[in-house]
């Protein structure tokens, strides 16, 4: 059984060369890493911060076919997206689940005349015209057609006002119809990405990964890598360097001495609300609709909370990426438009986040019409004393298509290396999705088999959290040579040994990694100062932190949660933290 904890910058420095170096460990970089590792390629991936901490961590938690891309004429992308959505429901069933989605519609024929203009020019015109039932019905029919082959979800349904309000009584009574279709929810994006990464590492020692390692520049011998924690620098050589740093692609290329202007990402923000009335109003469905400004937005029940998003704003990558107060006001307006009797205010916000989509440069094109498709740019990468290498830059890409994108990119890399493809990832289960129980009966069998050790409820919770890799966690929790496990005092859904497992096996470098990406504690609003202090006391001995480092990690975690995610925290206690 292999783990991520052996993957550090020292493992790269000990052998500072590979056939392929991937810079940027968002989902597309990680998926490309997995694909190449499965082919036996000597491949390394590095990330300047934590794995999946950039654009990939700021998604709407959806795996979707992109019904609105039909209006842009992106039929290839929609077809690929629907195919990949259906595939992920099968190969990652522990994290990707069918999601019933309802569109409230307020007119019948609106937008029919404006639609050709939007399709041909990718512009709204001088005045926004909402899409009516006729246009949406046409889109739903085309969308269903794309799902026909290998479809894993039901076809769409249209309902009139009476039936719609009977099903969702708190919807705006001014609506005329609803259209309901299925896409997919992605409950834990960061954990899914870690599973993809782990699959790559499990392929063998030829696959290496390190977080908190930055591509800082270029020397005549190779890429200059820098440990973001210690500042240690070393040169790394590779035949192919792959830039998958998302919205930071141009900045990475500049650091490598290859300036580019490929990117033009737009910022998307979200808020997470603890509002039981709004949660009940959704009826367990995503509400997906067009706001008054033409922006497609969503209200989405997730983990007992409600996710509301998203915006589509131009952003300067040299500036911080934050969800602003103006965006929050915008979200409250859209909730009031759809559920006018449900009251929401800032006291309901438990978490906020923002990210920049890795979109191509789009000049005068309206942000909402910028292609969500991807392309690969290739350039020679000069190397002293030997033939040039190759720099590949990924422009675009989204969560839904990560597997297909990675196969495309990896195929290009294999051609450059003169190697054959030996494995396809199509239909290949991801991480804890392997042998995941597909029926209620199979689920009960798994829970019963593992419940003897930790109890049925705990086994079920761990299965939901980690998929079938929960068996590894259970083995760790019940190790007879280790101290007895106990629930965390500040969050009994997790236990001390479970946090130790994450810290010791999943490349945790900073305390914030546990709060934001190894668990969903921050996302659902469970983080408090006492919890931060308790977690630090569990993690510190595993990672060998002294008192100074422990205090630094607490302060950094508090700063990020407050400044980036709007989490209000009480002051740190003055009593020394107990280290487990």
DSSP secondary structure, 349-412, as one string: EEEEEEEE--PBP-TTS-GGGS---EEEEEEEE--TTS--EEEEEEEE--GGGHHHHHHHHHHH
Q: Which CATH class is domain 6-55+190-264+371-417?
A: alpha beta
Low-confidence ranges of the chain (pLDDT < 70): 1-8, 68, 71-73, 109-131, 148-153, 362-371, 574-580
For 520-538, the DSSP string reads: -TTTTT---HHHHHHHHHH
pTM of the model: 0.92
Could you tell me the fold of the domain covering 435-565? Helicase, Ruva Protein; domain 3 (1.10.8)
pLDDT at 366: 58
N-to-C CA span, the chain: 26
pLDDT at 7: 57
Rounded Cα distance between 92 and 428, Å, is: 9
What's the chain's average pLDDT? 90
For residues 292 and 128, the answer to whether their CB atoms sit within 8 Å is yes
pLDDT at 113: 36
Rounded Cα distance between 530 and 536, Å, is: 10
pLDDT at 363: 62
Find the helix or strand (DSSP H, E) in which 198 lies: helix 189-202
Find the helix or strand (DSSP H, E) in which 457 lies: helix 456-466
Which of the 8 DSSP states describes residue 450? H
pLDDT at 119: 41
Intervals of CATH 3.30.9.10 along the chain: 65-80+96-184+266-350
Which of the 8 DSSP states describes residue 247? G
Q: Which CATH class is domain 65-80+96-184+266-350?
A: alpha beta
Intervals of CATH 3.50.50.60 along the chain: 6-55+190-264+371-417
Hey, CA dihedral for 6, 8, 14, 15, is it positive or negative? Answer: positive
Intervals of CATH 1.10.8 along the chain: 435-565
């Amino acid at each position: 059984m292999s783990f991520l904890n052996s993957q550090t910058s020292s493992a790269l420095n000990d052998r500072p060369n590979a056939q392929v170096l991937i810079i940027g460990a968002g989902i597309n970089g990680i998926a490309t890493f997995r694909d190449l590792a499965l082919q036996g390629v000597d491949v390394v991936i590095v990330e300047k911060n934590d794995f999946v901490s950039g654009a990939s961590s700021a998604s709407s938690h959806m795996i979707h076919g992109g019904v609105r891309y039909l209006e842009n004429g992106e039929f290839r992308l929609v077809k690929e997206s629907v195919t990949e959505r259906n595939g992920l429901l099968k190969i990652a069933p522990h994290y990707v689940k069918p999601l019933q989605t309802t569109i409230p519609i307020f007119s019948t024929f609106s937008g029919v005349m404006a639609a050709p203009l939007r399709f041909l020019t990718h512009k709204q015109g001088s005045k926004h015209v909402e899409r009516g039932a006729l246009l949406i019905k046409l889109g739903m029919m085309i969308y269903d057609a794309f799902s026909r082959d290998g479809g894993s979800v039901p076809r769409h349904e249209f309902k009139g006002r009476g039936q719609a309000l009977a099903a969702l009584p708190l919807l705006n009574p001014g609506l005329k119809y609803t259209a309901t279709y299925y896409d997919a929810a992605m409950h834990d994006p960061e954990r899914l990405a870690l599973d993809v990464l782990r699959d790559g590492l499990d392929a063998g020692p030829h696959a290496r990964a390190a977080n908190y390692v930055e591509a800082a520049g270029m020397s005549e011998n190779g890429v200059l890598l820098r440990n973001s924690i210690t500042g240690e620098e070393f040169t790394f050589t590779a035949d192919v360097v792959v830039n998958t740093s998302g919205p930071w692609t141009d900045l990475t290329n500049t650091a490598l001495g290859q300036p580019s202007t490929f990117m033009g990402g737009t910022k998307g923000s979200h808020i997470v609300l603890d509002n039981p009335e709004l949660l009940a109003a959704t009826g367990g469905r995503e509400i997906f609709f067009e706001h008054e400004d033409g922006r497609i937005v969503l209200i989405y029940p997730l983990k007992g909370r409600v996710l509301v998003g998203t915006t589509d704003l131009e952003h300067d990558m040299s500036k911080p990426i934050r969800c602003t107060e103006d965006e929050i006001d915008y979200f409250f307006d859209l909730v009031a438009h759809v559920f006018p009797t449900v009251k929401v205010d800032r006291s309901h916000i438990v978490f906020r986040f923002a990210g920049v989509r890795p979109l191509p440069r789009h000049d005068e094109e309206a942000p909402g019409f910028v292609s969500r498709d991807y392309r690969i740019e290739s350039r020679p990468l000069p190397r002293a004393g030997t033939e040039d290498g190759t720099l590949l830059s990924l422009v675009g890409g989204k969560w839904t298509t990560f597997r297909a994108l990675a196969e495309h990119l990896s195929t290009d890399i294999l051609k450059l290396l003169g190697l054959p493809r030996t494995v396809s990832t199509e239909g290949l289960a991801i991480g804890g999705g392997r042998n995941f129980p597909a029926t209620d009966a199979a689920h009960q069998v798994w829970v019963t088999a593992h419940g003897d050790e930790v109890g049925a409820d705990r086994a079920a919770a761990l299965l939901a959290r980690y998929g079938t890799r929960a068996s590894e966690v259970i083995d760790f929790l019940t190790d007879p040579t280790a101290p007895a496990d106990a629930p965390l005092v500040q969050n009994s859904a997790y236990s001390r040994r479970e946090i130790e497992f994450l810290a010791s096996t999943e490349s945790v470098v900073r305390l914030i990694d546990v709060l934001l990406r190894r668990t969903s504690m921050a996302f659902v609003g469970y983080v408090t100062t006492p919890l931060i202090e308790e977690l630090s006391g569990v993690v510190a001995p595993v990672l060998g932190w002294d008192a100074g480092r422990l205090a630094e990690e607490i302060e950094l975690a508090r700063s990020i949660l407050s400044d980036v995610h709007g989490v209000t925290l009480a002051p740190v206690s003055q009593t020394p933290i107990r280290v487990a």
